[in-house]
Each structure stands twice: as C-alpha cells, then as structure tokens.
Amino acid sequence: MSDTIKPNHQKELFGHPVGLYVLFFTEMWERFSYYGMRALLVLYMTAKALENDPQGGLGWSTTEALGLYGWYTMLVYVMSIPGGFLADRYLGQKKAVTIGAILLTIGHGILAIDTIGAYYTGLGFVIMGVGMLKPNISTMVGGLYKSKDIRRDKGFSIFYIGINTGSFLASLTVGIVAAVYGWHYGFGLAGIGMFLGLLVYLWGQRYLVHVGNAPTAEEKSEDISVGELFSQLLKSPLQLGITIVLLVLSLYAGFTFEGSDHWGFGALFIFLSLITGLMMMIYKNLNGKVEKDRYVVLLLSLLMVMAFWGCFEQMGGLMNLYAEQKTDRIIMGWEMPAAWFQAANPGFILLFAVAVASFWAKRKLKGKEASSLFKMAIGVIIMGFGFMFMVFATLQHGSEGSSAMYWLVFAYLFHTTGELCLSPVSLSFFTKLAPARYMALMMGVYWAATGLGNKVAGVIGASSENAGELNIFGGLFAFAILFGLFVVLILKPLKRLTHGAEDNEVVIHNDEPEEVLT
C-alpha cells in the first residue's frame, strides 16, 4: 500500500507511526508543566515567608517540605491506578488523556494565584490530571506497535526524549522566571506549557484513530471489572485472609506512626492492602501458565522500579536543597539559580539517549545479554554510583564549608545514564508482558510503583536532618549497587518466566497484517 492512500493513522515518519510524534509533543509539554513546578516546589516551600513579596515562600522546615514533596510526587503517580481503570473500563485512553490535560491546565493556572488555598487546590488538580494522563498516554504509545515489533523499544526511547525535552526547557525557563519575577509566575508559565500540549494532542487526533478508543460493549462484557475482582476476593479464603491481615497491619502501623501525617500513612497502607488483593485476583483470572508467569515477572520488576525511584528522586528533593544551601553556585560573580541544576538530568538525556539505546541494540545484535531485566538492573547499579559523588560533595562541604558544582553534575550524569537504562525500557517491558485486557490498569500500577518510590525518596530525604546527608548518600550508594547485583544473579530464572516475550522481534509496519508474526 503506498503512502498516498494510507489512512492517516498508518502513515510513518522516520520509520515510526506519525501518532508517536503527536504523543511525543503532548507529553513534552505535559512534562514541561510538571517538571517546571517540580523544580520550584521544595525551594518555594522552604523559602522565607515575605509578606506581599513575590520572592517570599512558605517558610517551612526541610522536614515539612520534603514530607509534602514525597506525598505529592507519590499521589500524582498513585492516581494512575484509577486513571487506568477508568480508561480501561469506560473512557478509553484517548479521552482520558484529554481530560487529564484539561485538569492539568486548570491546576497550573490555579497555582499562579498567590494564596495558600490556591496552592493546595492547584496541587490537587495536578494530581488528578497526571493520574488521568500518565498511564494512558504510555499505553497509547505501546498500542501504536503490533506484537513482536522490534521498533517498540526505540519508539519508547523517542517518546522518552520528548519527556525530557519538556523537562529541560522547564528547568531553565521556569526556574529563571521564578527567580526574576516570583514563584507564582513560574507556576503560571508551567500552565501555559500544558495548554500547548493540549492543543497539540487535539490537533493530532487523526493520527491516533486506531489506538486508545473506548471499549465496546462486547469488550466490556468479556472483561472482569474491578468490582467483580473484589467480589471474587470475598469468595477466596486464602486471598481474603492475606488481605485482611495486611489491612490489620496497615491500621496498626499507619496510625501508630509519629507525626502529623500518620493518618496519611494509615490511608496509604490500607490502599496498598486493597491493591495487593486486587493484584492477587487478577493473577487468578489470567489464562494459562504463560500469562501468569509473565504477570509474576511484572510484579517483581515493580520492586526494581520502586527501588530505583526511591533513590533517584532525591534529585528533586534532598539534592535540590543541597544545591540551594551547600553548593558554591558562583560563576564569574553571578550566582546560578539552584533550580537550573534540575536541567542537568533532561539535558544529559537529550545528549545520551540515542547513544545508550544504540549501545544496547548493538549488544543485542552481537548475541550478548541485553534483556529488559538486565538493562534495568544495570540502570540501578549505575544510578547508585552517582551517589558516590554526593558523598565526595558532602565530605568537601564538611572540610571547606561548601562543595563544588561539578560533584552534582557528575551525580546527575550517572543518575541519568541509569535512568536511560531503566525507565524507557521498563515502560516498553510492561506493554510487552501485561495482560491485554488489563493494560491501562497495569500501567497505572506501574506508575503507582513509581509514585511509591517517590514517597520513599521523600521519607529518606526528610530523615537527613537527623541521620546526616553523608549517611543518606552513602547508604543509597551501597543499597543501589547491592540490589542491582542481586537482580543480575537471579536473571536467568526471571527470563524463563517471560517465555520468550522479547525473542524474535522484527520490524512490523502498520499496514502489514498481524499474520507476519507467526
């Protein structure tokens, strides 16, 4: 079939569906808004409160700011579970992304208002918006490619470049606008970025007609709803018993925590207990050994995702404060804004994303180990080495009173390289192994795991006031390397459970029939 008579949704650009680039630019602007605000969040909360002054912040302590940062960054991803469920069961991914983009635009607009009520309200809208958009746009990227299409990993890498282009632009522009004009002008600029993303997405609908559509009545009748899964849980003594035990432990642990947010931990643990029960019932309803084994691997890979982001997200919290408070940022008499350090991560991604993807592709062609699980484990190890430079920075600060900028730059370089090995690969891996009828819900679980990692990062960062930054950075360095090496040691049995999901991958264009896969 020639390009002149292909439907819009089958047209390709640079060897990939045109729809990929629509989603690329949508996500680019969504990440511009999210990371623009993320770069300011902790700095704004810890800045001194100055009445009627746009440079004044909330005046919170480090512990309070990192605590809220952890809750916020967790919730934006945990909300991906209901966002994925609503898309799977009722809306379809395409409509869910539209709703998410609208909510995000509203949320960032509200954050531009300089009142504490608007601050909390805006964060709430952003949490709901990311929950609707994040899992569903990732699912749509996977839906652009047929099963066994080797271009899928590269497509996610291209999509990932879009994410980090937005992050890079935001870290520079939003940071300087906030520094010159005030915090809420920075928040407002982030909202303008999200509005542009919404316009791009609406314009590109003709290239997405075959993905993300609402389920048909027949598909709904074949699916098992979440409510039905929970009703089955009540009829399963073993799974119900496990869930009840978890709920009891959650109530005890959550409400015996010290601190004003003990109620939050209690609610979180109850939520996690119910999700555990839901995951058990999904396993029970899967078809055959292959689907069940792959599902087990997915759940185990979530531990890697949580461990990685629990370490990595110090970048937006503790390391962000370290850049502000303990790093010498003077360049030729000018003090660089601390928020600009947040541009190092996306900047390195734009520089090295293609190189890292090409390295793994060449390694696979040579017949060497290049499975997704191996890449993810190596990513955790490389990221861990980044904390070695933060240990050096802390030692220098202790002896000289400040630390050099290059320690942070080296740390971000290693963190970024680790991220490139894990994050886009894990996204693609999930779309390969997740049960098709639970795809968006499982993507929601994936992003929820990312969110839990973010919460862990907030808890770890907040403990730095008592434990000390040297102990925190040194502990993260040792943990990440040991955890990654452990996954490498158990790689072979994990790969067997995937039943060759990544074997015999070939290039499959959109106009080729599905039969070419067999």
More confident call, 214 vs 489: 489
In a domain, 438, yes or no: yes
Highest mean pLDDT among 284-288, 289-293, 452-456, 460-464: 289-293
Q: Residues with Cβ < 8 Å from 93, sequence gap 6 or more? A: 87, 136, 137, 139, 140, 143, 211, 212, 440
pLDDT in tens, 121-138: 988 998 899 889 887 888
Q: pLDDT confidence of 515, banded at 50, 70, 90?
A: very low
Say yes or no: 322 and 434 in one domain.
Answer: yes
What gap in Å lies between CA 304 and CA 380, rounded to an integer? Answer: 8
| Domain that includes residue 365, residue range | 15-224+285-502
pLDDT at 257: 60
Give the whole-number percent of the chain exceeding pLDDT 70: 83
**Whether residue 38 is found in the same domain as residue 185:** yes
Q: How confident is the model at residue 97 (pLDDT cuts 50, 70, 90)?
A: very high
Q: Are residues 316 and 348 in the same domain?
A: yes
Instruction: Tell me the per-residue pLDDT of 186-209, one tens digit each, with 9 for 90 and over.
Output: 888 888 888 888 999 999 898 888
Do residues 35 and 126 share a domain?
A: yes
Q: Taking phi first (over 0 means left), then psi (-120 to 50 degrees means alpha), and beta for anything else, what does residue 156 get? A: alpha
pTM: 0.74
Asked if 281 contacts 239 with a C-beta cutoff of 8 angstroms, the reply is yes
Q: Which residue, of 284, 309, 330, is where some domain finishes?
A: 284
| Residue type (1 letter), 20 | L
| Position 450 pLDDT exceeds 60 | yes
Residues near 218 by Cβ (< 8 Å), separated by ≥ 6? none
**Token pair for 245:** 């035990």
**Is pLDDT at 513 greater than 60 in this prediction?**
no
Structure tokens at 405: 């900028």
Do 230 and 333 share a structural domain?
Answer: no
Q: Judging by DSSP bridges, how do beta strands 16-17 and 12-13 pair with one another? A: antiparallel
Distance (Å, rounded) from C-alpha 302 to C-alpha 382? 18
**Which residues, 6 or more positions from 286, have their beta carbon under 8 angstroms from its beta carbon?**
292, 295, 435
Calculate mean pLDDT across residues 450-462: 82
| 1 found inside a domain | no
DSSP string, 3-60: GGGS-GGG-EETTEEHHHHHHHHHHHHHHHHHHHHHHHHHHHHHS---TT-TT-----
Per-residue pLDDT band at 449 (split at 50, 70, 90): confident
Most confident of 196-205, 479-488, 493-502: 479-488
Q: Are residues 261 and 305 in the same domain?
A: no
Q: What is the pLDDT of residue 366?
A: 84
125 and 271 in a common domain: no
Task: With respect to residue 515, please indicate whether it lies within any of the assigned structural domains.
Answer: no
Residue 420 lies in a domain: yes
Q: Is residue 116 part of a domain?
A: yes
User: Residue 334: in which H helix or E strand, if any?
Assistant: strand 334-335
Q: Report whether 124 contacts 107 (CB < 8 A).
A: yes
Q: What is the CATH number of the domain that holds 426?
A: 1.20.1250.20
Place of tokens 């062609």: 365
pLDDT confidence band for 452 (50 / 70 / 90): confident
Q: Which of 255-259, 335-339, 356-360, 496-500 has the lowest mean pLDDT?
A: 255-259
What single string gives the DSSP state of each residue in 255-314? HH--STTHHHHHHHHHHHHHHHHHHHHHHHTS-HHHHHHHHHHHHHHHHHHHHHHHHHGG
Kindly state whether residues 204 and 235 are assigned to the same domain.
no
Number of domains the chain is built from: 2
172 and 268 both lie in a single domain = no
Tell me whether residue 517 is in a domain.
Answer: no
Look at residue 251 and tell me whether its pLDDT is greater than 70. Answer: no
Cα separation of 503 and 492, whole Å? 14
Do 346 and 458 lie in one domain? The reply is: yes
201 and 338 both lie in a single domain: yes
168 and 91 both lie in a single domain: yes
- In this prediction, residue 417 carries a pLDDT of 95
33: pLDDT confidence band, cut at 50, 70 and 90? confident
Is 508 a domain residue?
Answer: no
Least confident of 236-240, 364-368, 430-434: 236-240
Compute the distance between CA of residue 169 and CA of residue 157 in angstroms, rounded to an integer.
18
Residue 490 DSSP SS3:
coil
Which of 152-166, 276-290, 383-397 is predicted most confidently? Answer: 383-397
Identify the residue with better confidence: 180 or 406. 406
Task: Compute the chain's Rg from CA coordinates.
Answer: 23
pLDDT in tens, 318-369: 888 888 889 998 888 888 877 788 788 888 988 888 888 889 888 888 888 8
N residues, the chain: 518
Which of 57-61, 106-110, 247-251 shows the lowest mean pLDDT across its residues?
Answer: 247-251
pLDDT > 60? residue 226 = no
User: Could you tell me the pLDDT band of residue 516, with boundaries at 50, 70 and 90?
Assistant: very low
For residue 76, which of 28, 23, 37, 25 has the smallest C-alpha distance?
A: 37
289 found inside a domain = yes
pLDDT confidence of residue 272 = 73
pLDDT at position 485: 96
Q: Select the more confidently predicted residue: 161 or 8.
A: 161
Per-residue pLDDT band for 232 (boundaries 50, 70, 90) equals: low
Q: Six-digit token pair at 47? A: 């800045």
Q: What is the mean pLDDT of the chain?
A: 80
Instruction: Return the higher-pLDDT residue of 449 and 388.
Output: 388
